[in-house]
Chains A and B, each alone.
Chain A
Amino acid sequence: MFAYLIKRLIYAIPIALSVTVVSFVLVYLAPGDPLNAIAPADAPEEVIVALKSAYGLDKPVPVQYGLWLMRAVQGDLGTSIASGRAVTAEVLSAVSNTLLLAGMAALGGVLVGCVLGALAGYRHGTWIDRVATVISVIGVSIPHYWLGLVLTILFSIWLPWFPAMGAGPGGSSEWLWDAEHLRHLVLPALTLSVIPMGIITRTVRALVADMLEQEFVTALRARGLSGIAIFRHIAKNTAPTVLAVAGLQIGYLMGGSILVETVFAWPGTGFLLNTAIFQRDIPLLQGTILVLCMFFVVLNLLVDILQPLIDPRMGRS
């Protein structure tokens, strides 16, 4: 078990390092000078030279990467070109908003998905199964940015129950745990939760239906165990897989929330990425991508660590 943990941790290091390389180099794929975003086209030569050295752009790319990485490790991701604020501060406040949205969506989606999937697996071939299958196919096929639009039309314009935009009253981006802020969270979280719901329903349904056919369940039944006791066995056996899928889903939602955040003007990382891309704000773009990907790497690591804790057989193999 311990050896497995160490191995898994060591394996994560090169991945994390490569992610920093990709996050940094990605921006240099773009044609054109990154300076175009800062300097006017007719800037004099001295100004350009001064700006280049101010942003460290006069050094070769590998050197720039090294300096960037050293500072990033210390929590300094540079200064946003567009806003002039520290990238780390901007990214962290956006990440907390995105995490809230993705976390709620994952929670709701996983819970509903587990219940639906278990019902469908238990009642294999009945109408419940068919309804759950239809819902899961819809969940994985629906363009969620469009669902967000439809939900806005239904529950914000037709029935004015929930606000259509922002994370709080008056477009504030500071999150508070009160009724007004929670009302802002409902529609975006609901929209985003459809993806994990569909996938989890599918996974759990297949797992449960498969499990019920296994001999150990027949043996448990033969010994006269009650339905609830058998369900506990099934839940224990499906948990590791569900956990793995759900863990990855939170990661996907963190990265995938950009579209939903755009629809609902949610002040998260998606909004930040949008700004960074269209204003060609390179430090902001690099920083946001890096932080989001690190979240994903850590999440993967957590899932891999938690899995053998639930199912000891995995740690041994």
Chain B
Amino acid sequence: MSTTLELSLPTPAASATPAPSRSYWRVVGRQLRRDPMALAAGLVLLLIVGAAVLAPWLAPADPYKASMLKRLLPIGSPGFLLGSDELGRDMLSRLMHGGRLSLLMGVVPVLAAFGIGTAIGLLAGYVGGRLNMVIMRVLDVFYAFPSVLLAVAISGALGPGMSNSLIALTLVFVPQVVRVAESVTTQVRQLDYIEAARMSGASAFSIIRVHVLGNVLGPVFVYATGLLSVSMILASGLSFLGLGVKPPEPEWGLMLNTLRSAIYVNPWIAALPGALIFITSIAFNLLADSVRSAMDIRR
């Protein structure tokens, strides 16, 4: 609570701010550290992200180096720990490098939607009235599209490519984030302390920044962590369809696609990239569940 408010309104109500303090996040952090599921999921994610980030230094081979003689080697072949793909490239190296694009394409749309969606939701919720109605009705249209179809349709219309699928996925998630942010903002806006802040002469911007944002960020954050797994699956799915990352870049969804014809020769190699998408997505989901229950402690 700002000092100006206490000067002009020296009532006890002025200090009753429900905006989360720093100690709240410390409690959430402690809660997460005590949760074995959160720790396990976090560890798995750390391993996968670590392997992806450090791929250029850790990977045993060049992920682009093809060899016609060493195609589709089984798992455990000498020099090819996880076998080789349909062009004789080292699978382990490609999976490690592939994690960079797959994780990037899964996380970036959620981050972008988190930022854009929160901003629009705050605006719609705080201003209210006609602007709110216009914004929310426009978003209802996006809700009339099943999310996979919307992602495929937008990236299909924009044309194949990585940046286009990033745009498509962001557009899919923004309306969902806006809805969460808008509903919390609308609730908070009607509380007495916002009214008090407004009477004390605080500008709309500083009210949103100081009093509203703190309440909105929590629920939106929880919602966005839940989107991470969906985003991973959708992003790799777009590449699987040939709408995302283009060959010869290593990316899990694309690798799954190019290895599809290999299922009759060496099925487990073909299944490997998908297994990584699955493990990452399940870890994101478990972590999101833990974050949700850890952040619920306030209520």
Contact = CB atoms under 8 A, between A and B. Distances in A.
B153 interface: yes
B242 interface: yes
A150 B286 CA distance: 23
Given A143-B237, A146-B256, A297 B263 contact: no
Contact of A262 (B154, B233, B240, B268): B240
Contacts, number: 131
Contacts of A266: none
Nearest to B280: A141
A140 B229 contact: yes
A54 B148 CA distance: 33
Contacts of A297: 144
Which size bracket describes the interface of A in this complex?
A: 35 or more
B229 A258 contact: no
A217 interface: no
Contacts of A152: 263
Interface in A148-185: 149-150, 152-153, 157-158
A214 to B, nearest CB: 19
Contacts of B229: 140-141
In order of increasing CB-CB distance, the 4 nearest A-B pairs are A146-B274, A255-B146, A255-B149, A277-B156
12 contacts: A14-B137, A19-B144, A26-B153, A137-B285, A140-B285, A146-B274, A251-B146, A277-B156, A289-B149, A293-B146, A293-B149, A297-B144
Given A26-B157, A259-B241, 20 more contacts: A18-B141, A22-B141, A26-B153, A140-B229, A141-B233, A141-B281, A143-B274, A146-B278, A149-B256, A149-B260, A153-B263, A153-B268, A157-B264, A157-B267, A255-B150, A256-B148, A259-B148, A289-B153, A296-B145, A297-B144
Interface string B149-175: 110111011110000000000000000
Contact of B271 (A22, A150, A263, A296): A150
Nearest to A18: B141
Interface in A10-60: 14-16, 18-19, 22, 26-27, 29-32
A285 interface: yes
B224 interface: no
Contacts of B282: 137-138, 141-142
B149 A146 contact: no
B54 interface: no
Contacts of B152: 258, 273, 277
B274 A256 contact: no
Interface in A228-285: 251-252, 254-256, 258-259, 262-263, 273-274, 276-278, 285
B249 interface: no
B256 A145 contact: yes
A252 B281 contact: no
Contact of B281 (A30, A142, A277): A142
A141 to B, nearest CB: 4
A292 interface: yes
B146 A143 contact: no
A80 interface: no
A96 interface: no
Contacts of B158: 29-30
A291 B263 CA distance: 34
Interface centre among B157, B275, B285 (most CB of A within 10 A): B157
A252 B144 contact: no
A152 B236 CA distance: 19
A252 B153 contact: no
B243 interface: yes
